[in-house]
Structure 1
Amino acid sequence: MKIQTTIALALAAAAPLSAQASSTQETDKVAKLDAMAPLLLAKYDVPSVGVAYIENGEIAFVRHYGKQSWGFPANEETLYNVASLTKPVSAEVVLRLVSAGRISLDTSLAQHHVDDDLVDDPRINLLTPEIVLRHRTGFANWRRQTDGILQFSHDPDTKTGYSGEGYEWMMKSVVAATGSDFEDLAQELIFDPAEMPLTGYVLAGKWVGHLAAPYKAGEAVYNKIRREPSASDDLRTTPREYAKFMLSVFEGEHVSPALRAQQATIVNSYQEHFQCDGSDAVPDFCPVDEGWGLGWFIHDYGDRKIMQHSGGDHGEASLAIYDPVARRGVIALTNGAEGHRVMVRIVGELFGDERVEEYFVTLSDNIGK
C-alpha cells in the first residue's frame, strides 16, 4: 500500500470516535488479540505475553496469554523483566528532576561521578544527561565490548550509538548530585504518582510469586534479579503499570511543556532500520526521519511522530509504542527469547497503522540474519 494511502488511513484512525463506535472497536481488537496471541506463542515458542492497549489517552484493555512460569498462568500481577524498556523510566526520572530544578540537562556528569577507567580522559567533561539520553556518549553499549574497559569509541556528541553504559554513568551522577537512591527517586517521582505498586528496579518482597521466568529453548536461562538499581536494564513491571507510566509521560504534566517538546525533537537523524538508511530504494513503511529524543526513539512519519522503545535480553523481549496525536499506545511484554517475533505482530495489529506494523515485523524477521 502506498504511503499516501496509509497516511490517510492513519489520519482517519486518529479522528474522534463516538463512545459506541469506540467500544465496538475495542471489542473487535480484543477478539482479534484473543485469536492471534495463543497462535503466535505456540508458533515462536514463547511462554507468555502481556498486552496493554491505550486508546484516547486511557487504558482500554489489558490481556494476558500463556504461562508466567511452569504451571502458573500469566495474569494482572505477572512481573516481566522489560530489559531496555527500563531506559525510558530512568530517562523520565531525570527529566522530572530537571523540570524541578534539582539537576540540569546540560550539567557535566563528571562533576558528580567519574568512572575509574576514564579518570584521565578530559572528554568525560563533555558528558551530560542530554547526550546520554540521545545516545551520543561515544561509548559502546557495554564495556565488555571494549575489552572489559570503559573507553570512548569516538568523541562525545559526534555520532549516535546506543549505550547502556551511558545510562549507568548518568544514574550514578544523579544519585551523587541528589544524595538519593535511584530506586527511591523513581518511587517518589514516578511509581507512586502513577500508581505502579509492583514496579521496581530491585528485589522486593512484593515480587514473590509474580516473576515471569525467562525462557530460551534448550537453555537454562538465568532469571536476573538485581539488588542494586540499573538505569538501563532489568526493571520489573506489568503491562498495565507500564501503560500507566506511559500515560504519565505523554498525557501528564510532570515536566515543563518546553522540556517535553525537547524530548520529542530529533536533533540528530539516525535511520535505525537497515532498509531505511537511504542506501537502497526506501520502502513505503520507512519514516521520513528517525532519531533519538530524550529517552525515546522517534519515528517521524510527517503526519505524526511515533514514540517507541524496545528491550531484549537472553530470555525476554518487550516493546512499547505511543502516538501522541492519536493518543494511542500498545505495550507488549514477553518472557521468551523469540518474544520479539510475537510482540511486533501484536503491536502492529493493534496499533492500526500499516506502516508501523510492516516496519517492526520486517525488522524483527531480519534479526540474526
Structure 2
Amino acid sequence: MEKYNTPGVSIAIFNNNQITWTDTIGYSDANQQTPLTTNTKFQAASISKPLTALGVLKLTQTHNLDLDTDINQYLTSWQVQNPFDEPVTIRRLLNHTAGVNISGFQGYPKSDTIPDTVSVLNGLGNTPAIEVMITPGSQFAYSGGGYTILQQLIEDTTGTSFQDYFQKAIFQPLQMTDSTFNQHPENTSLAHDQQGQPHPNGWLIYPELAAAGLWTTPTDIAKFAIAIQNAHQGKPGAIIPQYLANAMLTPQNNWGLGVGIREEGTDQYFFHGGANPGGYKNIMVNAFNANAGIVVMTNAEQGNKLHDELIRAFSAHFNINVLQPRHIQPIPLTDEQLARYTGTYQYREAGDYYLTMTQTEDNQLVLHDPNDGMTNTFLPVDDTTFVEIEEGFEITFDRDAETNAVLSVDYNGAYTFHRVDDLPN
C-alpha cells in the first residue's frame, strides 16, 4: 500500500458459495486518517456494469422483454439512432457488441450541473452523443455508452428511478445493505490520486449510473457474485432463472452479458474491473467452477497494482489459474548493455504517440509513457527480453543483425514501437 500510494483497501473472499473472510486496511481519508470499515462504501466504477446486467436480466424476466428484439421497441423517452440494418438489442448492449460509442466517462465535480440520463444520451453532458458507430453484432467494442442506453431502458420500462428499481429488485433480495446508486452516499471512502492525496472534491459524480455510478463494498459485490453462481447452478430461490444465468456466463469474444469470461487450464472464471477517474480501482473475480472468488476495492489511482498483487496471492492460495504469480530469473546486464535500449520509441500507427526508456543503477529499464504519466519497470531475462516486475508482461527488442543497433520494441505482443532519435518539439 505504501509502495502504490494507496491509503485504503477493502477485501472480501468467498468459498463454496459463502463469504469466508473480509478485512479492511488503512484509511478512507489519508489526511484525516479515518479508519476504513467493512461497511465503508467505494465507487465501484465499471463493476457497476455487472450489477446493471443482473438488473436488466431480471427486468427481461419480470416484464417479458426479449434479449434479441430491437431495443427501440421498449424505449419511450429516447430512441437509438441506428444507421445499420442490424438491430441494437439488449443482448448486444450487455456484451458490448451493439457498436455503440463512448467507452468510459470522466465524471463531474459536485459543483457542476449534473445531466439526467436523456441529456447524457443526447451529448448534453461532458461526452458526445451516444450513437451506433459500428454494425451491431459485428465486433466487440467496450461501451459505457451502451450501458447508459440500458439505464434508460430500466427507467422507461419500470417508470421508476434507476436507484429505486435496484433497491427493490436487486439490493434488498440479495441483502446488499451497503449498496446504492445515490451519488451522495454516507460512510464513503474518498478518492486519492497517484501520490495518495485526497481528491479535492472528495469524489466525482457519475450520472451514468449503469456504467460507473454504483457505491458499494466488497462484501456486497461478493453477495452478487455468489448469487450469479447460485443461479448458474440452478439452486432454488436464485435471483434469476438458470437459463438467464447461463446466458450471462456464455462467452462471445471472451465476454458474457455484463462480465468478462475466461478459461485458464481447468478453471473458468467471470470477472470485472473498475477504474473511475478521481481515484478508485477495483476488481471482482469468481472462479465459479472452483467455488472461490475475491473482491478488492481500493481508493487510489495506483490501487490496480495493489489489487493485482492480491489477486495473485488469492490464486496461489486456492491454486486457481487466474493471474498466478510468475517466477522469473533475471540476468545481469552491464550498464553499457542496458544503455543500448534507452531512448525514445514511436508507435507509428498513432502518429505522435511516444514512449521513453531509461535505465537504473540496479539492472532495470524504466518505461515512461508521457501520454498518461504511467511508468513500468522491467528486469532482463535474456539479452533482448525484459519482464515487467509488477504485472509480468514482456517487452522484446529487435536489433539489426549487422550493426546490433536497436530498431524497435515489441510491447507484450500487442504493439510495436520504433526507435527514434528524440521526442519532437
Report the TM-score range of the alignment, normalised by the length of the smaller protein: 0.7 to 0.9
1:222-261 equivalences under 5 Å are 222-224=201-203, 226=205, 228=207, 230-252=209-231, 253-261=238-246
How has the CA–CA distance of structure 1 residues 48 and 138 changed in structure 2, closer, same or farther, with 3 Å as cutoff?
same
- In structure 1, C-alpha distance between the alignment counterparts of 2:3 and 2:105, rounded to whole Å: 34
Q: Counterpart in 1 of 2:259? A: 296
Secondary structure class of the residue paired with 1:43: coil
CA deviations on 1:156-215 (whole Å, 9 max, x unpaired) are 1111011000000111022212222221221112110111122101146xx33x111001
Show the 5 A alignment for 1:121-160: 121-123=82-84, 126-142=87-103, 148-160=128-140
What per-residue deviation string (whole Å, max 9, x for no partner) do you get for residues 209-244 of structure 1? x11100104674544464856101021111111111
1:59 maps to which residue? 19
For residues 124 and 328 of structure 1, do their structure 2 counterparts lie closer, same or farther at Cα, with a shift above 3 Å needed? farther
Summarize deviations over 1:13-51 as a string: whole Å, max 9, x none: xxxxxxxxxxxxxxxxxxxxxxxxxxxx11111111100
> Which structure would you say has the larger RCO, counting Cα contacts within 8 Å and 6 or more residues apart?
1
Q: Distance in 1 between matches of 2:206 and 2:131?
A: 26
CA distance in 2, matches of 1:224, 1:148: 23
Q: Distance in 1 between matches of 2:140 and 2:68?
A: 18
What SS class does the counterpart of residue 136 from structure 2 fall into? coil
Q: Please state if 1:78 is matched with 2:55.
A: no
CA distance in 2, matches of 1:89, 1:364: 34
CA change 1:149–1:182 in 2 (3 A) is closer
TM-score normalised per structure 2? 0.65
Does residue 264 (structure 1) correspond to residue 249 (structure 2)? The answer is yes
- Report the AA paired with residue 184 of structure 1: D
Q: 2:168 aligns with which of 167, 185, 188?
A: 188
In 1, are the aligned partners of 2:41 and 2:216 still within 8 Å (CA)?
Answer: yes
Deviation string 1:73-117 (CA, Å, 9 cap, x unpaired) is 111221101100110000000111223344221232222338979
Give the percent of matched residue pairs that are identical in Structure 1 and Structure 2. Answer: 23
Indicate which of 324, 327, 340 corresponds to 2:288: 324
| Partner residue, 1:343 | 307
AA at the equivalent of 1:319: I
- The DSSP-based 3-state class of the residue aligned with 2:294 is strand
Change in Cα spacing, 1:295 to 1:143, as seen in structure 2 (3 Å) is closer
C-alpha change, 1:364 and 1:297, in structure 2 (3 Å) is farther
1:124 Cα offset (Å)? 8.6
Q: RMSD in angstroms over aligned alpha carbons?
A: 3.1
2:177 aligned residue (197, 203, 228): 197
Larger Rg: 2
Letter of the structure 1 residue corresponding to residue 225 of structure 2: M
- Quick one: structure 1 residues 113 and 340, their matched pair in 2 at CA, closer, same or farther if it must change by over 3 Å? same
Question: More deviation in 249-258 or 347-356?
Answer: 347-356
Greater shift in the superposed pair: 244-253 or 141-150: 141-150
Q: Identify if the C-alpha distance between structure 1 residues 313 and 362 changes in structure 2 by more than 3 Å, giving closer, same or farther.
A: farther
Unaligned runs of 5+ in 1: 1-40, 270-290
Figure out how many residues of one structure are paired with residues of the other and give that number.
303
Distance in 1 (CA, whole Å) between partners of 2:211 and 2:85 is 19
2:157 is aligned to 177
Long gaps (5+) in structure 2: 107-122, 232-237, 326-389, 396-410, 418-425
Kept in 2, the 8 Å contact 1:112–1:174? The answer is no
Q: Is the 8 A contact 2:206 2:212 kept in 1?
A: no
Cα deviation for residue 363 of structure 1 reads 6.4
TM-score by length of 1: 0.74
Give the counterpart letter for 1:63 in structure 2: D
